[in-house]
Amino acid sequence: MSNRFFRKTLLGLAALAALTASAQGLRPSTGAGTGLTGNIPARTSDAQRQADFIVAVVNSEPITNNEVRARVIRTLQQMAQQGTPAGEADQAVVVRQVLDRLILEKAQLQLAAETGLKIDDATVDAAELNVARQNQLDVPELRRRMVQDGMVPAQFREELRNQLILTRLRDREIDARQRVSDADVDQYLRDQQANTDPSALELNLAMVLVAVPENASPEQVATLQAKAESLRARAAAGADFAGLARTSSDAPDHARGGAMGMRPADRYPDVFVEATRGLDTGGVSAVVRSGAGFHILKVLDKRQGGLATTVVQQHARHILLRTGPRLTESAAVERMNDFKRRIQSGQADFAQLAKENSTDGSAAQGGDLGWSSPGQFVPEFEEALDKLEPGQIADPLVSRFGVHLVQLLERREAAVTPKEQREIARGIVREKKLDEAYARWLEQVRSRAYVEFREPPQ
């Protein structure tokens, strides 16, 4: 297995973009822990320390040096892939941040266990399948390559399970409780319209990365640069940028068409901002060089003060099966997989299956959800749609409403109406409130946990 593949697999686990989609689902319409427990010795022997040792204890559960090292390596690889490699001083900061995150994760997983929150094997199976498909493999081959690189598949599955638990916990404790009033939206729009500060610029960029290995020879660099220039020429000539990213990009988010999401310009590398400064929406940059390699950037959206003028809308339909005593989550997922096989083989019609089986208000319309703008669904659900080409059907998605089977019908770019702008603003305000509430909640979880620091990570 190549190092690049292993990085992509680990980064996919860290991001869990597709996996959290499986754990979230649709937003309600506003219109209608494992590990060692028990007694832990105060110090370890020299022999034990050489193999591994405890760096901290959260309540009664240890965090080991190997856990910290593995996460640090993963984080540094992700930073390098994003074009921001860490220096030696920065690496020390990363170690401290990773240990803090592990402490928070342990405390959250313990809270989830205490309240009976669990993720069944079927959901973990779906998550593992998603990671395999992102790497264009089947599950047996994914596991075989993990073993080749020294990673235990059972440990990988346990990390998937833990990340899904954390997502469900946040959904239960934070996301489901947040409300955005019309007054909140009005205030946000007033603030944005009054903001003329250039630093308020927001960008949604897509990227194709041609990675350059460390210690590459000048000949290798020249060959890779020529490849990047060729890809840039195709993009500038009108080739589908998302398609180029999926087939040719070395970035970990290539499966999503290279889209990096709307964010303030100062959250992008300076070299990306400079390369796209003079471009309008739809423009393609020149080839940009960074420590990770050669980048080609496309401006998907550009906003001053957070107010969008155009959006990419998606037309989708779905089937919803609500779970309960009569229909377990595993059984619903299995049933949806059967629906998907029958539709793709031509044995059944999506709309007819939706009319006969779906348990939400869209059933009468064959599951048709109509055109949706950004902010109408939870981000994870939109990410799942973003991965689809028109006509494609996603794997079953699990949300707090039940299990969904979703198909993307069409995609278009449209001018934003005042009503849609309010919905986009509502989504932005909600995400801001969620982030603030989540940060406060994490502080409370951390303050309630007993944490004992042992030996510094090495």
* Domain annotation for the chain: domains and CATH numbers: 3-178+449-453 (1.10.4030.10), 196-304 (3.10.50.40), 310-415 (3.10.50.40)
- Say what the pTM is: 0.51
Answer for the pair 81, 10: CB distance below 8 angstroms, yes or no. no
Q: Which of 9-18, 88-97, 261-270, 322-331 has the lowest mean pLDDT?
A: 9-18
Question: CB under 8 Å to 281, separation ≥6 — which residues?
Answer: 299, 300, 301, 302, 310
Residue 320, Cβ density class (10 Å: 0-12 exposed, 13-18 middle, ≥19 buried): buried
Q: What is the pLDDT of residue 26?
A: 42
Q: What is the pLDDT of residue 44?
A: 38
- Cα distance between residue 314 and residue 5, in whole Å: 31
Read off the amino acid at residue 148: Q
- Cα distance between residue 253 and residue 388, in whole Å: 14
Greatest distance between any 2 Cα atoms in the chain: 69
The pLDDT tens digits for 114-134 are 999 988 888 888 888 878 877
Q: Which tokens is 115 given?
A: 């309240």
User: Does 194 score more than 60 pLDDT?
Assistant: yes
- Cα distance between residue 105 and residue 442, in whole Å: 10
Answer for the pair 417, 366: CB distance below 8 angstroms, yes or no. no
- Cα distance between residue 170 and residue 168, in whole Å: 5
Q: Which of 30-44, 47-61, 418-432 has the lowest mean pLDDT?
A: 30-44
- 301 falls in which pLDDT band (50, 70, 90)? confident
- 43 falls in which pLDDT band (50, 70, 90)? very low
Q: Which tokens is 277 given?
A: 């400064």
114 vs 135 pLDDT, higher one? 114
The closest alpha carbon to 134, from 338, 383, 306, belongs to 383
- Cα distance between residue 419 and residue 178, in whole Å: 21
Ramachandran region of residue 28, left (φ > 0), alpha (ψ -120 to 50) or beta?
A: beta
User: Does 6 score more than 50 pLDDT?
Assistant: no
Q: What is the mean pLDDT of residues 162-173?
A: 89
